[in-house]
C-alpha cells in the first residue's frame, strides 16, 4: 500500500510476537518506536534492521476490536497511510484493533507470515521430546550434582526424596558422604518443586563448607545469614524480616543464640531445615528449645551426625523426638522398644543364613525408617592410611614459638616474627625459614610428590609458602579465606593438573568441603586441638575413589604441644590409621587431661612422658569401650536398611543412561548457535562459549558461568573450574525454556517434491497440558511426549507414512506466504486441515490420559497400601504421611481430568 510509515499503523515484532499487536508511535530517518500496549512495553528499532512486520489482515479474517466487538473483514482500503476494514454494516480503522491480538500461536504466525527456518521446527520438536523424557525421568534432580555416582549415597537420596514428609537422621560414618546425601536430597526436592524454602544450620566452622558444597557441586546459591548480612538487609531496623528475603539460607549455631533472631527465623517459615553435626544439640544446649520449636513448624527436617549415639542414648532419643515428637514421646518407652531389636537381629541373621527374604522385617524395624547409617565395614573402596610421625629437634626459641603458635595461631609472638613488621606496626607475620618442619617438607618436595599442606591459619599458610620458596624453586598454589571462591577454584584446579602446582598450601579452610582425592600425600604442618577437625583434614584425601594409600606426614618438634597431640592421636586414638567412631565423645572425656598436659609443656619446656603414656593407655581402653557400645546389634539393622543395592542400581541405571546420551549436548549447542553463541571446543570434552555475536539481548545471561564448561561428569569432577552442563543445570534450563517460550521454530513453510502428485501436507505438534501445582510433579506420570500429526489436503491422517526424520530429509525452503493470495487455500483448506489435526490429536490424548491415570493409581495406590500395612507393625509410619499420600493421589487425578491439548508448532508443506 501507499505511505510507508504513519503513526497509528499496526506492527508486530517477529523476534517477540508474544508482545502482541504494536502501534507505530514515532519514526525518523533512522529509527522506529513501537508501543505494545497489552504488555506495557515501548521498543525502539533501527530502521534498517528492525525485526518488524506490518500487520494487514485479509478479507475473510475475523478480528477483535478495542470495544470487544468482532469484525469479519469483507473489504479493506488505505487512506493517509492507515488501513480501514469493512464488514457487513460496520467499519474500523486499524487503530481500533485490539492490542491484545497475539501472534504467539502457530496458526496466528502462519497467517501473519511469521515463518522460521525448517531446521528450527526440527530442533523444536526434538527438544520437546527430550524435555518430556527428562521431566518424566526418576533421575531428574540427580543429574546435576558434580559428584561421583556412589550407590549408597544415591540409594539414600532416592529413598528420602521419595517420602511425602522427609524427616530423617543421616548418620553415615565420616567420609561416606552425609553432606553429599543431604545435598542430593535438597537438589532433587528443589528441582521437582517439592520444596522452595530451605534453611541449613551448621557449626560456624562449617558454614563456608556447606556454602561451597551447595554452590560448586549443585549450582545452588545460598545466602549466609550472619550478623553482618542480616544487618544489611534491614539497615534501618524497620522490622523487615531478613530471613524472608531469601529462599535458601545457611547460618551457624552461634548466630541462633539471639532470641530476636530465633523468632524471626521461625516466623519466616521453611519447607526444609537441615541441621549438621546434630549431636551438638543436647537438652541443656542454649538453642535446644529453639530447634524444637523450629522442628515443629517445619514440613521437612534432616539431621546429620556421624555417630547418632555418641553423646549418649538419651541425646539420641532427643534427636528422634525432633523428627517425630508424636512417635518418640517417652524415653523409657523407647528403651523398652530397643530391647526387642536384639531379637530382631537374631531373626534376620537366621533368615539370611537360610537365604530367605528379610525386607518385610526391615520395613517393620521402626528407627530404620527414620535413621540412615552406613559404615566403612559395609561400604568398601576406602584407602589405607599410613602415618609418618617425624620427631624434630628444635631450639629453645623454636619450642617457645611453636607453643605460642598453637595457642594463638593468628597473632604470633616471640622471636620468630619479622622485626621490621613490629617496628612499623603492620600486621604480624610468621617466619618459618629455619623451622625444621620446613626442612622436612623441602625433602618431601624433592621427591617430586604432589602434596597437600594444611595448617591452622592464613598467616601460617603465607609463611609456609614464603619459607618453601626461599629453599627450593617449585610451583606452589595457595588456598585461604582471603581469596574469592573463583580464585580458590582456579588454584585447586591448577593443583589438580598433572603438570600443575606440586604443592597446595591451605589454611584450615582447606579442610572444609574440598575433594583432593587425586593426591595422596598430606603434610600436616601443625595439628588441631580437636580430633574432629583432624579427621576433617584427613577426610579431604580419605574418600571413596582414592586410588592410593594415603601418606600422612606429621612432623612435630619435641617438647611442644604438637608432640603430645601427635602421640595421642597416633598411639591413643589411632586416628592417623583409621576413621574412629565416637571421636567427639572420646575427646570430651579426655579434654581436661590434654589441656593439663599442654599447660605443663608450655611451663616446663617439655612433655611429661609418664603422664602422656598413661593418658595414651587410658585412651586406648576407652576407645575399645566406645567402639563396642556403638556397634550394638541394632546398628546391623540400620546398615541393612540404609543401603539396598537392587533399588540403588535402578536409579543409577537411569542416571548413567542419561549421562551417556549426547542428546542434550547436540540440542543445546544448536540452540546456542541459533542465538549467535559459538561453542569453541578446546578438546573433546571441554569447550568455551563465545557470546560476542549474540543476536538476542533478552537471552539468559552468561555472567554466572565459568570460563569453560563440559557435558562430561568425570571431567567436571576432576576440574572444579568447569561448569557441568546437565539437564539439571540452571543455565541449560533457562536456555531451553527461552527457546520454547519465544515460539522459535513453531511455524514454518517448506517445499517437497511430490514426483508429479501435487498437494499440501500439514505437520502439527500438540502438547498435552495439565495445569497443576508444580509440587505434584504430574509430568512424572503424564509423560507428555509431543503429539505429532501429519494430514493431507483431503484431511487424511498421513502420520505413519511420514516418519519425522525421513520427512524432514525431503523438505526444502519455500516462499513464506505462497498461499496469501489463494483465498480458498487460506480461508478454507488450511483451517480445515488444522481442525482435522486437532481432532486426531484429541483422540490420541484419551489414551495418554488413561495411561497416566493407571500410573498414578498403580504407583501411589501401591505405596498407600504399603504404608497402611506397615503402620500396623511400624509406628514410625505417621498418619499424616498416609493422609498426604491419599491427598496427593486425589489431587493428581483431579488435575489430570482437566488436561487439554495445545498446538505448539506447525509446518505447512507444499507438495509439487
- pLDDT tens digits, 569-616: 999 999 999 888 778 788 889 999 999 999 988 887 789 999 999 999
224-233, 390-399, 405-414, 517-526: range with lowest mean pLDDT: 405-414
Greater model confidence, 708 or 58: 708
Q: What's the confidence (pLDDT) of residue 604? A: 77
Give the CA angle between residues 222, 224, 226 to the nearest 5°: 160
Distances (CA, A) of 671 to 724, 736, 812: 18, 8, 21
Average pLDDT over residues 274-285: 80
Phi-psi region of 239 (alpha: psi -120 to 50; beta: other; left: phi over 0): left
Q: What's the confidence (pLDDT) of residue 522? A: 96
User: Which of 139-148, 316-325, 694-703 is modeled with the greatest confidence?
Assistant: 139-148
Average pLDDT over residues 638-650: 80
Share of the chain above pLDDT 70, in %: 90
Q: pLDDT tier at 174 (50, 70, 90 boundaries)? A: confident
Res. 173: pLDDT tops 90: no
Q: What's the confidence (pLDDT) of residue 877? A: 64
Whether 393 and 558 have beta carbons less than 8 Å apart is answered as yes
**Distance between CA atoms of residues 256 and 262, nearest Å:** 6
Greater model confidence, 199 or 258: 199
CB 122: neighbour CB atoms within 10 A? 20
66-70, 303-307, 390-394, 702-706: range with lowest mean pLDDT: 303-307
CB 782: neighbour CB atoms within 10 A? 26
Q: Per residue in 887-906, pLDDT tens?
A: 888 888 888 887 888 899 99
Res. 381: pLDDT tops 90: no
Residues 250-274: b if buried by 16+ CB within 10 A, e if exposed:
bbbbebbeeeebbebbbebebbbbb
Q: What's the confidence (pLDDT) of residue 565? A: 96
Q: What's the confidence (pLDDT) of residue 60? A: 72
Q: Per residue in 705-730, pLDDT tens?
A: 888 999 999 999 888 789 999 999 99
Average pLDDT over residues 463-492: 88
Q: What's the confidence (pLDDT) of residue 424? A: 35
Q: What's the confidence (pLDDT) of residue 234? A: 65
Q: What's the confidence (pLDDT) of residue 96? A: 93
Burial class of residue 401 (count of CB atoms within 10 Å of its CB; 0-12, 13-18, 19+):
buried
> Which residue bears the cell 524471626?
264
Q: What's the confidence (pLDDT) of residue 414? A: 37
CB 159: neighbour CB atoms within 10 A? 21
List % helix, strand, coil for the chain (3-state, nearest 5).
45, 20, 35
Phi-psi region of 617 (alpha: psi -120 to 50; beta: other; left: phi over 0): alpha
117-131, 207-221, 661-675, 865-879: range with lowest mean pLDDT: 865-879
Whether 148 and 162 have beta carbons less than 8 Å apart is answered as no
Q: Per residue in 26-38, pLDDT tens?
A: 999 889 999 988 7
Q: What's the confidence (pLDDT) of residue 233? A: 67
**Distance between CA atoms of residues 519 and 559, nearest Å:** 31
Instruction: Identify the bridge partners of residue 303 per DSSP, sorted by sequence position.
Output: 169, 275
Q: pLDDT tier at 41 (50, 70, 90 boundaries)? A: confident
Q: What's the confidence (pLDDT) of residue 235? A: 65
Res. 464: pLDDT tops 50: yes
Q: Which cell numbers hold the place of 258?
A: 539471639
Give the mean pLDDT of the chain.
85
Average pLDDT over residues 76-96: 91
Q: What's the confidence (pLDDT) of residue 632? A: 57
> Would the CA dihedral through 100, 105, 107, 109 be positive or negative?
positive
Q: Per residue in 111-162, pLDDT tens?
A: 877 888 999 999 999 999 999 999 889 999 999 999 989 999 999 999 899 8
Give the CA angle between residues 299, 304, 307 to the nearest 5°: 140
Greater model confidence, 23 or 110: 23
Nearest to 189 by CA among 303, 300, 305: 300
- Please give the model's pTM, rounded to 2 decimal places: 0.76
Q: What's the confidence (pLDDT) of residue 804? A: 93
Greater model confidence, 872 or 712: 712
Q: What's the confidence (pLDDT) of residue 1? A: 53
Q: Per residue in 474-484, pLDDT tens?
A: 999 999 888 87
Amino acid at each position: 500500500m501507499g505511505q510507508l510509515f504513519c503513526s497509528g499503523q499496526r506492527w508486530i515484532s517477529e523476534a517477540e510476537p508474544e508482545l502482541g499487536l504494536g502501534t507505530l508511535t514515532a519514526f525518523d530517518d533512522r529509527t522506529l518506536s513501537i508501543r505494545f500496549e497489552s504488555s506495557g512495553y515501548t521498543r525502539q528499532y533501527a530502521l534498517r534492521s528492525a525485526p518488524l512486520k506490518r500487520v494487514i489482515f485479509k478479507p475473510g479474517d475475523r478480528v477483535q476490536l478495542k470495544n470487544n466487538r468482532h469484525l469479519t473483514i469483507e473489504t479493506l482500503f488505505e487512506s493517509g497511510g492507515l488501513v480501514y476494514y469493512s464488514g457487513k454494516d460496520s467499519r474500523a480503522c486499524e487503530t481500533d484493533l485490539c492490542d491484545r491480538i497475539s501472534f504467539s500461536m502457530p496458526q496466528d504466525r502462519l497467517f501473519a507470515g511469521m515463518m522460521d527456518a525448517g531446521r528450527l521446527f526440527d530442533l523444536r520438536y526434538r527438544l520437546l521430546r527430550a524435555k518430556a523424557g527428562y521431566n518424566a525421568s526418576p533421575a531428574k534432580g540427580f543429574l546435576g550434582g558434580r559428584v561421583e555416582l556412589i550407590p549408597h549415597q544415591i540409594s539414600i537420596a532416592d529413598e528420602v526424596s521419595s517420602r511425602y514428609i522427609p524427616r530423617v537422621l543421616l548418620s553415615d560414618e565420616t567420609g561416606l558422604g552425609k553432606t553429599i546425601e543431604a545435598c542430593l536430597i535438597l537438589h532433587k526436592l528443589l528441582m521437582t518443586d517439592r520444596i522452595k524454602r530451605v534453611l541449613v544450620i551448621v557449626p560456624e566452622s562449617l558454614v563456608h563448607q556447606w556454602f561451597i558444597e551447595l554452590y560448586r557441586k549443585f549450582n545452588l546459591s545460598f545466602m549466609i545469614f550472619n550478623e553482618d548480612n542480616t544487618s544489611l538487609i534491614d539497615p534501618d531496623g524497620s522490622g523487615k524480616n531478613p530471613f524472608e528475603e531469601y529462599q535458601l539460607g545457611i547460618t551457624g549455631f552461634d548466630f541462633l543464640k539471639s532470641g530476636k533472631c530465633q523468632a524471626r527465623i521461625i516466623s519466616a517459615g521453611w519447607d526444609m531445615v537441615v541441621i549438621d553435626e546434630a549431636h551438638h544439640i543436647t537438652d541443656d544446649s542454649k538453642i535446644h528449645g529453639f530447634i524444637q520449636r523450629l522442628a515443629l513448624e517445619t514440613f521437612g527436617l534432616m539431621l546429620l551426625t556421624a555417630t547418632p549415639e555418641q553423646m549418649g542414648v538419651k541425646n539420641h532419643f532427643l534427636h528422634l523426638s525432633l523428627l517425630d515428637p508424636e512417635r518418640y514421646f517417652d524415653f523409657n518407652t523407647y528403651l523398652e522398644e530397643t530391647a526387642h531389636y536384639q531379637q530382631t537381629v537374631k531373626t534376620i541373621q537366621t533368615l539370611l543364613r537360610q537365604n530367605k527374604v528379610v525386607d518385610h522385617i526391615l520395613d517393620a524395624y521402626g528407627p530404620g525408617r527414620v535413621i540412615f547409617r552406613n559404615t566403612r565395614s559395609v561400604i568398601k573402596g576406602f584407602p589405607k592410611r599410613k602415618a609418618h610421625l617425624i620427631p624434630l629437634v628444635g631450639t629453645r626459641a623454636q619450642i617457645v614459638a611453636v607453643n605460642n603458635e598453637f595457642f594463638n595461631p593468628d597473632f604470633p609472638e616471640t622471636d620468630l616474627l619479622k622485626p621490621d613488621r613490629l617496628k612499623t606496626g603492620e600486621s604480624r607475620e610468621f617466619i618459618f625459614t629455619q623451622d625444621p618442619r620446613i626442612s622436612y617438607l623441602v625433602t618431601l618436595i624433592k621427591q617430586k610428590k604432589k602434596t597437600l599442606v594444611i595448617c591452622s591459619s592464613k598467616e601460617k599458610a603465607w609463611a609456609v609458602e614464603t619459607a618453601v620458596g626461599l629453599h627450593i624453586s617449585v610451583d606452589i598454589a595457595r588456598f585461604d579465606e582471603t581469596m574469592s571462591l573463583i580464585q580458590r577454584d582456579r588454584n585447586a584446579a591448577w593443583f589438580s593438573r598433572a603438570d600443575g602446582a606440586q604443592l597446595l598450601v591451605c589454611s584450615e579452610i582447606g579442610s572444609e568441603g574440598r575433594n583432593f582425592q587425586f593426591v595422596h600425600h598430606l603434610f600436616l604442618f601443625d595439628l588441631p586441638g580437636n580430633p574432629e577437625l583432624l579427621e576433617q583434614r584427613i577426610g579431604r584425601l580419605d574418600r571413596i575413589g582414592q586410588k592410593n594409600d594415603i601418606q600422612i606426614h606429621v612432623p612435630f618438634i619435641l617438647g611442644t604441644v604438637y608432640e603430645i597431640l601427635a602421640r595421642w592421636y597416633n598411639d591413643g586414638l589411632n586416628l592417623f590409621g583409621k576413621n574412629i567412631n565416637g571421636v567427639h565423645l572420646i575427646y570430651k572425656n579426655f579434654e581436661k587431661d590434654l589441656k593439663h598436659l599442654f599447660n605443663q609443656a608450655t611451663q616446663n619446656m617439655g612433655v611429661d612422658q609418664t603422664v602422656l603414656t598413661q593418658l595414651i593407655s587410658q585412651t586406648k581402653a576407652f576407645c575399645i569401650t566406645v567402639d563396642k557400645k556403638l556397634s550394638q546389634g541394632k546398628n546391623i539393622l540400620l546398615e541393612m536398611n540404609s543401603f539396598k543395592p537392587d533399588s540403588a542400581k535402578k536409579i543409577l541405571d537411569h542416571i548413567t543412561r542419561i549421562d551417556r546420551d549426547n542428546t542434550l549436548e547436540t540440542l543445546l549447542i544448536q540452540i546456542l548457535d541459533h542465538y549467535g553463541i559459538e561453542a569453541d571446543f578446546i578438546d573433546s570434552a571441554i569447550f568455551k562459549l563465545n557470546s560476542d555475536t549474540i543476536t538476542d539481548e533478552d537471552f539468559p545471561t552468561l555472567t554466572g558461568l565459568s570460563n569453560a564448561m563440559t557435558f562430561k561428569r568425570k571431567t567436571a569432577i576432576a576440574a572444579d573450574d568447569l561448569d557441568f552442563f546437565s539437564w539439571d543445570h540452571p543455565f541449560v534450563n533457562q536456555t531451553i525454556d527461552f527457546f520454547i517460550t519465544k515460539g522459535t521454530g513453531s511455524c514454518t513453510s517448506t517445499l517437497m517434491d511430490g514426483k508429479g502428485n501435487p498437494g499440501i501436507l500439514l505437520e502439527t505438534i500438540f502438547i498435552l497440558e495439565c495445569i497443576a501445582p508444580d509440587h505434584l510433579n504430574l509430568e512424572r506420570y503424564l509423560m507428555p511426549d509431543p503429539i505429532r500429526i501429519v494430514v493431507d489436503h483431503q484431511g487424511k491422517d498421513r502420520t505413519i507414512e511420514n516418519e519425522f526424520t525421513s520427512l524432514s530429509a525431503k523438505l526444502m525452503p519455500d516462499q513464506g506466504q505462497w498461499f496469501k493470495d489463494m483465498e480458498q487455500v487460506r480461508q478454507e483448506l488450511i483451517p480445515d486441515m488444522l481442525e482435522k489435526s486437532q481432532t486426531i490429536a484429541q483422540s490420541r490424548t484419551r489414551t495418554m490420559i488413561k495411561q497416566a491415570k493407571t500410573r498414578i493409581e498403580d504407583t501411589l495406590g501401591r505405596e498407600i497400601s504399603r504404608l497402611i500395612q506397615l503402620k500396623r507393625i511400624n509406628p514410625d509410619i505417621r498418619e499424616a504421611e498416609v493422609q498426604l499420600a491419599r491427598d496427593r493421589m486425589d489431587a493428581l487425578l483431579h488435575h489430570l481430568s482437566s488436561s487439554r491439548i495445545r498446538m505448539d508448532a506447525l509446518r505447512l508443506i507444499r507438495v509439487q
